[in-house]
Amino acid sequence: MENKLRWVYLFGFFLILALPLLNLPPWFSPPDWGKTIVFRIILAVLIFIFLWQIFSQKQFQIKTSLPLWLLVSLLGIFFLATIFSLDANFSFFGSPYRSGGFLNFAFYIVFAVLAFLILKKSDWQKIWDFAILIGIFVSIIAIFQQFGILSKVFIPFSGRPPSTVGGPIFLAIYLLLLSFLTLSFGIKERNLAKKFFYLISLFLFVFVAVFITLTRAAFIGLAVGFLWFLFFYPKKLVLLKISALILLILGICGLYFLKIHPEVYTNQAPFVTRTIDRIISISWGLKAGESRISAWKVSLEALKTKPILGFGPENFSVGFDKYYEPSLPGIEKMPGIVHSWWDRAHNFVFDISLTGGILALIIYLSLFGVLFWQLQRLKSFLSTNNESVTNLRISPAIPHALQATFIAYLVANFFSFDTFSTYLISFLLIAYSLHLLSSQATNETPENNRGFRLIRRIYADSVKWKMPILIFLLVILVWFIWGFNIKPLQINSQINLAIYQMQNNDCQGAVSRMEEILPRHSFLDNYLRLKYIEIINQCIKQAGPEDAYLLVKKATEILKENVKIRPHYTRNWLLLGQYTNILIESGEKNLKEETNSYFEKANQLSPKRQEVFTEWIKTDLLTEEYQKAKEKSEKCIELNEKLTDCYWLMGLSQAYLKDLDMSDYYILTAREKGYPVQSKESLLQLTKVYIETENYPGLVKIYSDLISLEPNNPQHHASLAFVYKELGDLIMAKKEALRVLELQPENKEAVEEFLEGLE
């Protein structure tokens, strides 16, 4: 098909490839959210133009190949997984947090197919040069963030900067995807200025991926990719390969030496020491690696129950929660660290198979396997024939670089997962591979093919209705752009503004803004309500008792809507139970059965979640079901002995049951394991127990501890004076009462009345 709108298409593709730079809150935050919205709008317009051109042609050619069919099959299997998903709506749309879902995945595949069908040989170099240029800008921003350059424009990061991509690991894999093709362009380029441009770009990409992002997945991916590129390069290069092998052996020995003698490098520049530490940690392991392996074990158990189509796109957490095992190392809930809630496996094998099924994984691996095999054939053909014979004018370094990229990408993604920027470049690489492979041979479907004749007939019939069909498609385009892109973008921007107001202590403004957008229904309904809960949670801490109570009531109303929208999401039910507990604590004892039903549902969805048990135990304590609280505490400890909350709650349960020896044992155990027993919150919890059980000796110790935390709080001294009076220690009661008088002279009359009662 003669492309009369070539520059329109090119401009559209250039805009899409520039999207990794887009990161402008509040409209385009989270980073991938804004990118995917703009991506869908631009690509939807290009699709409409393409279809309009199709209908304007008298005839057309159909290009087919095995990789193309595998790409379409991948789309089909994920479509089936979405239809049969436990939560089809969430599987289709996803949420701004990850910007995933079938809709976005389908657009990535369509993007690759359109690029393959539309872009000509002369266009591809422009496309890749532009992508490399964008990669340079992304890398420079990461360097600015790392070293605090232009800190008023780019937020500085003392740790690992994300640039505009959303996270350091995603930045590293994005640059990895650009590196090997950039290297091949540098090798084949004869113009010295362009060769310098490519090689400097490569150096920048590797420098940022290794020294700035400090991403171990990228270290391994780059290392494996470069080893393949060098040792399987189409030319012999014997001396270079031997030298590289020697350097590799020396490097491994050097890292081992540095592991044994860290004093050798600890005085170097910080980014050098951090890089060496991260590389060394690959072999000797860290907690993060341990937690990933544990998550993979859970994923494997979940996969066994739904191997055909999985749990549906974006529903990884459903399967993971169901088979979550807190006793596995590094995966449990720990103070200050959240490991236990996973929505990705950080491994493409489990991410794909658990959300799309084993068949989806087989198709995905087959796609890369077939591309690799056909690129190998193309590379061999180019290596054994000169350009005058092949008439392709393609350097064998290019298919070789594509092979190295796919290897490095899959290796890195064995420890990570894709986001918009990595999806964008990976599918562009697939499209480029299809282009190169189609250049070698004609892959048009033969005229006598039955399927081809059917398509021809359908096309001929539909051309008669060209204008009505195009008008209908235009209406669909406008509806799609508004209803599924611009409207959600507006809603999300208001959510971000409300969060900003909350962070700046304008809770009233934040709540008012959320109330305004709450009735605006879209596929963001679940996400909108979860963000509202986050705002309410922070605002409760700033509100007075009456306002806090109203906010809690509002939170329960919102969560009741949310469990209907997304009923298989454990955290919805857990949050609903937590907020209903607060209402019970404020006096609404009639909510006991309702609250138990919420935790029962959460427990069904995730039977081994200690977080569910700890909140459920609080319900039993609030409703005076102390024996049940004890039994649930035993179960909580049995699931994983490391979680200190379980021991603390067991101590409270035993105190309510008046088994003071066992209560002291569990509280002491909780303290030894790291629970903040001496914090004000914990002491007040214990005070409540001792008051209800009339444990006055225990109250003396607790109030003394509270006074050590807040020596000038008159209420603590007044309470301690009352306890001493009940114990008959009138001297200490008088002493504490006089301390109250000293701190609050305005309460002289009440204190004197108390003192008179001591005589």
Residue with tokens 């600890």: 266
Give the model confidence (pLDDT) of 178-203 as tens digits.
999 999 999 988 899 999 999 999 99
The CA distance from 238 to 228, in Å, is 14
- DSSP per-residue string spanning 197-254: HHHHHHHHHHHIIIIIS--HHHHHHHHHHHHHHHHT-SS--HHHHHHHHHHHHHHHHH
Cα separation values, 306 from 188, 293, 309, 405, 546, Å: 48, 20, 7, 32, 48
- Of 440, 465, 482, which marks where a domain is finished? 440
The reported pLDDT for the residue numbered 236 is 74
CA angle, residues 208, 43, 173, in degrees to nearest 5: 20
- Of 379, 414, 440, the position where a domain reaches its end is 440
Reduced DSSP (H G I as helix, E B as strand, rest coil) percent helix, strand, coil of the chain, to 5: 75, 0, 25
What's the confidence (pLDDT) of residue 269? 66
Count of the separate structural domains present in the chain? 2
Mean pLDDT of 341-356: 93
Q: Select, from the ranges 232-236, 443-447, 532-536, 641-645, the one with the highest average predicted confidence (pLDDT).
A: 532-536
Measured CA to CA, the distance from residue 703 to residue 732 in angstroms comes to: 13
Answer yes or no: is pLDDT of 485 > 70: yes
Could you report the per-residue pLDDT of 129-155, keeping only the tens digit for each? 999 999 999 999 999 999 888 888 788
pLDDT over threshold 80, residue 62: no
- Return the CATH number at 748: 1.25.40.10
380 close to 403: Cβ distance less than 8 angstroms: no
Q: Which of 80-89, 646-655, 703-712 is predicted with the least confidence, judged by mean pLDDT?
A: 703-712
pLDDT in tens, 555-574: 999 999 999 999 999 999 99
- Cα distance between residue 432 and residue 119, in whole Å: 9
User: Which of residues 425, 440, 455 is at a domain's end?
Assistant: 440
Residue 262 has a CB neighbour count (10 Å cut-off) of: 12
Q: Please, is 712 exposed, middle or buried when counting C-beta atoms within 10 Å of its C-beta (0-12, 13-18, 19+)?
A: exposed
| Residue whose C-alpha is closest to residue 501's, from 33, 26, 32 | 26
Segments in 57-163 forming alpha helices (H): 66-83, 88-93, 102-118, 121-147
> Per the domain annotation, does 569 fall within a domain?
no
Cβ neighbours of residue 165 under 8 Å, at least 6 residues apart?
A: 20, 31, 138, 171, 174, 419, 421
Mean pLDDT of 41-49: 96
Q: How far apart are CA 87 and CA 132, in angstroms?
A: 39
Residue indicated by tokens 């697939």: 430
Q: Which residue has the higher pLDDT, 273 or 468?
A: 468
CB atoms within 10 A of CB 293: 14
* Dist. CA 141–CA 21, nearest whole Å: 9
What's the rounded Cα separation, in Å, for the pair 188 and 367?
27
Cβ atoms within 10 Å, residue 188: 15
Answer whether 468's CB lies under 8 Å from 501's CB: no
* Confidence label for 353 from pLDDT (cuts 50, 70 and 90): very high
Checking if the pLDDT of 442 tops 70, the result is: no
Average pLDDT over residues 713-727: 88
Q: Is residue 475 part of a domain?
A: no
What percentage of the chain exceeds 70 in pLDDT? 88
pLDDT band at 289 (very low <50, low <70, confident <90, very high): confident
C-alpha 160: how far from chain center: 16
- 54 in a domain, yes or no? no
209: CB partners within 8 A, 6+ apart:
171, 172, 175, 176, 179, 215, 218, 222
Do 649 and 634 form a contact (C-beta atoms < 8 A)? no
Which range marks the domain in which residue 118 is found? Answer: 81-234+286-440
Q: Report the chain's C-alpha Rg in angstroms.
A: 32
State pLDDT tens for residues 633-652: 999 999 998 889 999 999 99
Whether the upstream peptide bond of residue 161 has omega within 30° of 0, thus cis, is no
Helices (H) and strands (E) in the chain, counts: 35, 0
Going by pLDDT thresholds of 50, 70 and 90, the confidence category of residue 1 is very low
444: β partners: 63
Domain-located, residue 557 = no
Which among 207, 139, 686, 224 has a CA at the least distance from the CA of 413?
224
- The CB-side HSE value for 352 (13 A sphere, CA atoms) comes to 21
Q: Taking residues 377-389, report their average pLDDT.
A: 74
Confidence of residue 303 (pLDDT cuts 50, 70, 90): very high
Tokens 């859970």 sit on residue: 298
Are residues 330 and 280 in contact, defined by beta-carbon separation less than 8 angstroms?
no
Q: What is the pLDDT of residue 6?
A: 85
Q: How far is CA 133 from CA 20, 35, 708, in A?
A: 11, 18, 61
368-389: average pLDDT? 83
Say yes or no to pLDDT of 240 above 50. yes
Q: What is the pLDDT of residue 58?
A: 58
CA 409, CA 321: separation in Å to the nearest integer? 28
- The residue with greater pLDDT, 182 or 242, is 182
Q: Tell whether 12 is covered by a domain.
A: no
Least trusted range by pLDDT, from 232-241, 296-305, 487-496, 557-566:
232-241
Amino acid at 743: L
Residue 736 has pLDDT above 50, yes or no: yes
Cβ-based neighbour number of residue 264 at 10 Å:
12
- Helix residue ranges per DSSP H, 357-465: 358-384, 387-390, 397-412, 420-440, 450-463
- 598 pLDDT tier (thresholds 50, 70, 90): very high
Residue 253 counted as domain residue: no
Instruction: List phi, psi (to 5°) of 286.
Output: -135, 175
Highest mean predicted confidence (pLDDT) among 3-12, 63-72, 421-430, 683-692: 421-430
Higher pLDDT, 728 or 353: 353
Is residue 526 domain-resident?
A: no
Is 608 in contact with 324 (CB distance < 8 Å)?
A: yes
Question: Which comes out higher in pLDDT, residue 199 or 392?
Answer: 199
Tens of pLDDT, residue by residue over 251-281, are 777 766 666 767 666 776 666 677 766 666 6
Which residues share a beta bridge with 334? 337
- The whole-chain average pLDDT of the chain stands at 88
Q: What angle do CA 622, 624, 626 make, to 5 degrees?
A: 110
- DSSP codes of every residue in 486-543: IHHHHHHHHHHHHHHHHHTT-HHHHHHHHHHHTTS-STTHHHHHHHHHHHHHHHHHHS
CA dist 340 and 334 (Å) reads 9
Please indicate, yes or no, if residue 308 is contained in any of the structural domains: yes
